[in-house]
Amino acid sequence: MVKNSLIALALLLFTGAFAQNGTISPYSYFGFGDSRAQGTVENQMMGGLQMYADSIHINLRNPAAYSKLRLTAYAAGISRTELRLKDAFDVQRTAITNLEYLAIGLPLSQKMGLGFGLMPFSSVGYSVTSQSINPDGLEINNAFSGSGGLNRVYFSFGYAPAKNLSLGATVNYNFGTLEFDRLQTVENVLFGTRDFRQSRINGFDFNYALNYTPKIKEKYTLFTHIGVNTQVNLVSKNSEQLSSFSVANGTNIETVEVNLDQNNLRNTELKIPTVTTIGLGFGEDKQWFLGTEYSLQGFSSFTNDFLGQDNVQYADASSIAFGGYFIPDYRSISSYLNRITYRAGLRYDETGLLVNGKEINNFGITFGLGLPLTGVGPAAFSNLNLGFELGRRGTTDAGLVEESYFKINVGLSLNDRWFIKRRIN
């Protein structure tokens, strides 16, 4: 029953994943768009920690975790984000709903497991305007908009070569289309100009992980983690059109295809630098866990030659996260509240993005609940995960925008058992 339900869900969500507009942030204009959260709701609500692994949940960011799986796991997640965009003059409110991930994890033995799935990697979605005065004293209006994003199909494998030691690797294939549009009009001029650019992007990257989790006094576990997400090598096939249009009705008058081959911009490369993560945690199995992680990325080497943005700089990026969970009594029969998993965390990200000379950093506080679902057999380990995140990104200095957000996550984690021979008594 679970298998059939997941197949139907996969067909529904697989189609929707490519149609969604995953962000409405003006900062998605820069780089390769807004990076999307790569973890499940369970991980996101612990500040985004990736080190923790157990026998029933999928861990999208840590392939070593698949070696811990003892039951087949299915995971799907959606989110809704309420945004307040504030600049020096105005405040706007908006909201967006997204598919976060669709994944399956399979245990192959007591030491091996694999997983595969689909998730967004980055999103572009913005609409902003600006005004200026030219040397003749006429007002110039610019309208900037963008859409699209990159999706990711992944395959992961985890293996435990020795007691308390797990290794894993993931191959990611990233693909999608980004579109950037600029309309310019000048006061008292009947025709405006349009610059439309499109990039069709694809490429691979790899994620490697190592977990070492020795027991302390037989009751507690020390969690140590090293993760390396290698450089993302993307190939971008670009096109650009310049048009003139009627200001009165928006009709195109003439469109010219720009010869990008002349400046070697028809095919460009986007190299997103390697991310290295180290983590340390401590806890008691099925009772509680606390951990912290630090990530570093040499983002200062990133460039996007095709867009040629002149008000942005890139610096090395870093992130620090802290989080954990608590279960009062996972075996409780009399109290449902005691079987709930309570999660919380916080994170601070130095994104490496500098716009108009100002750093665009992010701070978030997360908390959530893992609600057990009723069932028999392996299905009894399934759960519904609710998560909430409060955060702030950006600044109102230098004509920029400060984003305050409230994100609601809903994740479904279902369990089943495959590859078991039926027996007839």
Report the C-alpha gap between 231 and 20 in whole angstroms: 26
* Statement: residue 267 has pLDDT above 60: yes
* Statement: residue 281 has pLDDT above 50: yes
308 CB-near residues (< 8 Å, 6+ apart): none
Task: Using pLDDT thresholds of 50, 70 and 90, give the confidence band for residue 21.
Answer: low
Residues 2-177+198-235+269-416, CATH architecture: Beta Barrel (2.40)
Q: Is 264 exposed, middle or buried (0-12, 13-18, 19+ CB in 10 A)?
A: exposed
* Statement: residue 17 has pLDDT above 80: no
* Statement: residue 350 has pLDDT above 90: yes
pLDDT in the model for residue 218: 86
What are 115-148's pLDDT values in tens digits? Answer: 999 999 999 999 888 888 888 888 999 999 999 9
Tokens (6 digits) for 199? 């990039």
Report the C-alpha gap between 365 and 385 in whole angstroms: 17
Domain ranges of the chain: 2-177+198-235+269-416
Other CB atoms within 10 A of residue 310 CB: 6
Pairing of strands 34-35, 288-297: unpaired
pTM of the model: 0.90
* Statement: residue 179 has pLDDT above 60: yes
Report the C-alpha gap between 382 and 361 in whole angstroms: 36
* Statement: residue 11 has pLDDT above 60: no
| Angle made by CA atoms 4, 5, 7, in degrees to the nearest 5 | 65
Beta bridge partners of 88: none
Q: What proportion of the chain, given as a percentage, has pLDDT over 90?
A: 76
- Residue pair 269/302 in contact by the 8 Å Cβ criterion: no
pLDDT in the model for residue 4: 47
66 CB-near residues (< 8 Å, 6+ apart): 58, 59, 105, 112, 113, 114, 115, 156, 157, 158, 168
* Statement: residue 15 has pLDDT above 70: no
pLDDT in the model for residue 20: 52
pLDDT in the model for residue 137: 86
Q: Who wins on pLDDT, 188 or 154?
A: 154
Tokens (6 digits) for 159? 């293996």
Region 206-215: what's the mean pLDDT? 97
Average pLDDT over all residues of the chain: 90
DSSP letter (8 states) at residue 136: T
- Cα distance between the two ends of the chain: 23
Report the C-alpha gap between 255 and 234 in whole angstroms: 29
